[in-house]
Chain A
Amino acid sequence: MAKRITVGWLTSRLVLVLVVVFAVFPVLWTLLNSFKEVVDIVTPIPKFIFTPTLDNFIYVFERPSVKVGLINSGIIVGVAVLIGTVLGVPAAYALARYKLKLGDDLKFFVLSLRFLPPVAVAIPLMSIFLDLGLYDTRVSVILTYTLLTLSTIIWLAVPAFERVPANIEEAGRLDGLNPYAVFLLIALPVAGPSLFGAIVFSFILVWNEFMIALMLTTSEAKTLPIVASEFTLLGRNVPWGILNASVIVLSIPPLIFLGVLSGFLNRVFKK
């Protein structure tokens, strides 16, 4: 069937293309700039053709602070997302399936964790961690980030479990499954794809988190966003190439995470 080209169709496509360009172009430009010499970046006429260089990336990766930041970010974000998933997914299932006396209040409380501005959370936590001797440690950041991942995952996973038809779980009970087996063998795989979204979203949220990490760390437990931001302070001349390269380095792990996790889910549930 041939598509008829109408004015409406053309306009909608045009708007779509504009939006895509608007969203993608900065990322593309950053990627290009990360392979440029500073002279190629600061020219008044933007250059699309240039001799690429890996100097920016070499500089970024040779910095010990970047290595530390990468490891810190990996461990902190990984553990926070793991704890958030292991505790949050079953909690969301319980909230979605069982009529609890305080169920709605609990859901609201979980969401309310996200109402406060990060600074309001970070300041009291900072003094608590200072008293406990946990300031500027990975543990303190993991604990704080777990609050974020836990609340995000619960909030997004409750509707995912609510969409699982109750009859399917009842069929499972009639097939002799106990409530835990119903959760693990039926609810979890059926809600899987939506849960995947929740987990990825919480990962990106804490991977990019800046404010709280800035307040809870000074040197030992600094995360990658903090380290990357420090490149702007290198001197009078902003090192644009290095800055762009560090942004690219910062953006790659979430992409890898996305790929690995979706591949894993495909293997487990799509058989």
Chain B
Amino acid sequence: MSSISCRNLVKKYADLQVVHGFDLEIADHEFVVFLGPSGCGKSTIMRMLAGLEEITEGELHIGGVDMTDAEPGERGVAMVFQNYALYPHMNVYKNIAFGLRRSGLSKVQIENKVRDVVKMLALEDYLERKPAQLSGGQQQRVAIARAIVKTPDVFLFDEPLSNLDAKLRHQLRVEIAKLHQQLKTTTVFVTHDQVEAMTLADRIVLMNAGNIEQVGTPKQLYTQPSTLFVADFIGSPAMNLFAGELQGMRLVSPIASFDISDQNLDFSMVSNVTFGIRPQHLSLQKKHRKDVELKGVVSFVEFLGSEVMLTIEANGCEIRLLASEGEVLQRGVEVTVYLQLNRLHLFDTNTGLRLN
């Protein structure tokens, strides 16, 4: 097991730069998730960690050793791919044992290791099968077994659950989380699915266009998004965002204008702001003395099970609110919406940086 240290990693393809100086320290035993929209560079960085992509500039240390130019097989990493990447001409047993053949272990030792891992992942019944004879979920379990059996210093998961259906994805996600609790191997996990990221990660690295937007625990990203991009990306349903203007201690916007003097912020330089509030933090009942009141009309109702998503038109803007199932409302009903000021997120519209 190892720590990972990325120092100013840069990736260029000819003239196209896709990663712009990536700095990150990953502690031993940590489970770090790279999250971001497709094309943000998260998979490229993972492939640089694995040694499958050359590092154009910068340094990579794994377990304190400089691995910037090391061969993939020398880095002590094991990787699980999105499309499983099992060897199609070998059966499950050989797929798992293949990486051990060069480790100098005896045949009996290899067999014991494979049996242990196979048991851990409930693959006993499939050892003789070829990958093509397995379902997607089984194939990915074999791929995970192939990674675990090498007892690597670092696990790399490259969107391992993206090709699976929703139910299997959840099941395997739980399995991966349990495996990490058990093995405690340093893990880097790439995904574009925020639910996977939130549930698995010790820390999330949220990326956008080759840059880090924010690094933090899932809770930090959710409650204190440091940029507009993070605020918009994290949280489902997505945050309500409105453009506004600061006039002294008042925030003026088409949907609502209110006093923000008790927000702890430094806004001396800024006038154009964007404020955000999560649908969960809007309510049809007044909860605090200082809640901002909005009059509106329900324009759309989505039934989600235990909750109902209401789209409300107020002052020519649309705002989305998550109500409990008991508060079922019809289209066209007039309502008063209460906005919890202590849950407000304020951003500088020009730089996208958080203000409060």
Q: Which residues of A contact B (CB under 8 A)?
A: 165, 167-168, 170-178, 186, 189-190, 192, 269
Contacts and interface: CB of A to CB of B under 8 A. Distances in A.
A177 B50 CA distance: 14
Interface residues of B, number: 23
A177 B72 CA distance: 9
Interface string B144-155: 001000100000
Contact of A173 (B71, B81, B87): B71
B201 to A, nearest CB: 23
Given A175-B98, A175-B99, A176-B102, A170 B88 contact: no
26 contacts: A167-B85, A168-B85, A168-B88, A170-B52, A170-B72, A170-B81, A170-B85, A171-B87, A171-B146, A173-B52, A173-B73, A174-B51, A174-B52, A174-B73, A174-B77, A174-B99, A175-B73, A175-B99, A176-B73, A176-B74, A176-B99, A177-B73, A177-B102, A190-B88, A190-B89, A269-B89
B85 A165 contact: yes
Interface string B64-102: 000000011110011101010111110000000011001
Interface in B31-77: 50-52, 71-74, 77
B78 A168 contact: no
A177 B77 CA distance: 14
Interface of B: 50-52, 71-74, 77-79, 81, 83, 85-89, 98-99, 102-103, 146, 150
A167 B85 CA distance: 5
A167 B83 contact: yes
B157 to A, nearest CB: 13
A225 to B, nearest CB: 37
Nearest to A167: B85
B50 A174 contact: yes
Contacts of A189: 89
A171 B98 CA distance: 10
Contacts of A177: 73, 102
A183 to B, nearest CB: 14
Most chain A CB within a 10 A radius of its CB, from B50, B72, B86: B72
B86 to A, nearest CB: 8
A190 B95 CA distance: 13
Contacts of B81: 167, 170-171
Given A173-B72, A174-B72, A186-B87, 17 more contacts: A165-B85, A168-B86, A170-B52, A170-B85, A171-B79, A171-B86, A173-B71, A173-B73, A174-B51, A175-B98, A175-B99, A176-B74, A176-B103, A177-B73, A189-B89, A190-B88, A190-B89
B78 A174 contact: yes
Nearest to A177: B73
Contacts of A176: 73-74, 99, 102-103
- Which of A174, A176, A186, A189 has the most chain B CB atoms inside 10 A of its CB? A174
- Which of B51, B71, B89 gathers most chain A CB within 10 Å? B89
A168 B87 CA distance: 6
Contacts of A165: 83, 85
B81 to A, nearest CB: 5
Nearest to A188: B89
B90 to A, nearest CB: 9
List the 7 closest A-B pairs by CB distance, nearest first. Answer: A176-B73, A167-B85, A175-B99, A171-B85, A173-B72, A189-B89, A176-B102
Most buried by B among A168, A171, A186: A171
Contacts of B99: 174-176
Contacts of B74: 176
B305 to A, nearest CB: 38
A79 to B, nearest CB: 29
A187 to B, nearest CB: 10
Contacts of B98: 175
B229 to A, nearest CB: 30
Contacts of B77: 174
Task: Identify the interface centre among B77, B81, B103: most chain A CB within 10 Å of its CB.
Answer: B81
B219 to A, nearest CB: 33
Contacts of B89: 189-190, 192, 269
Which among B78, B88, B103 has the highest number of chain A CB atoms within 10 Å? B88
A79 B85 CA distance: 37
